[in-house]
Amino acid sequence: MLIVAYLFIAIVAVIHAYIVVLEMVLWRTPRARAAFGTTVEQAEQTATMAGNQGLYNGFLVAGLVVALVAGPTSSVGFAFAVYSLACVVVAGLYGAATVSPRILLVQSVPAALGLAAVLLA
């Protein structure tokens, strides 16, 4: 189960690292606009907000990286893994309810599976 925990923590970290890049660097590009369903005008108007969201996603990535480096069965790694994965699950649930159900599959499901793996490891 430990390998599964590492795998899901890494998957969630990579997903969120990609989201950081989309929100902080590529927000105005066709790729980010397609991913988030925004128009050119909306992307221009919300670029600062998206950068702020990207920064928060970066904090989640940092927590997940700490969990990976420390090891999810160490006390530090376990704490960072549980906290970071739980935050991703909650954020994904909120996003699915308010923005798009797709967020549930992209964010919450991998994080929930990772959380379960960490708790069982």
How many distinct structural domains can be found in the chain? 1
Asked if residue 22 lies in contact with residue 46, where contact means CB atoms within 8 angstroms, the answer is no
Q: State the angle between helix axes of 75-98 and 109-120 in degrees (0 to 180), rounded to the nearest 10.
A: 150
Asked if residue 100 lies in contact with residue 92, where contact means CB atoms within 8 angstroms, the answer is no
Domain that holds residue 6: 2-120
One-letter amino acid for residue 47 of the chain:
A
Distance CA 84, CA 118 (A): 12
Average pLDDT, the chain: 96
Distance CA 53, CA 66 (A): 20
Distance CA 103, CA 21 (A): 17
Reported pTM:
0.93
pLDDT band at 78 (very low <50, low <70, confident <90, very high): very high
The residue among 37, 49, 121, 34 whose CA lies nearest residue 85 is 121
Give the tens place of pLDDT for each residue, 16-32: 999 999 999 999 999 99
CA 68 centroid distance within chain: 15
Distance CA 65, CA 38 (A): 30
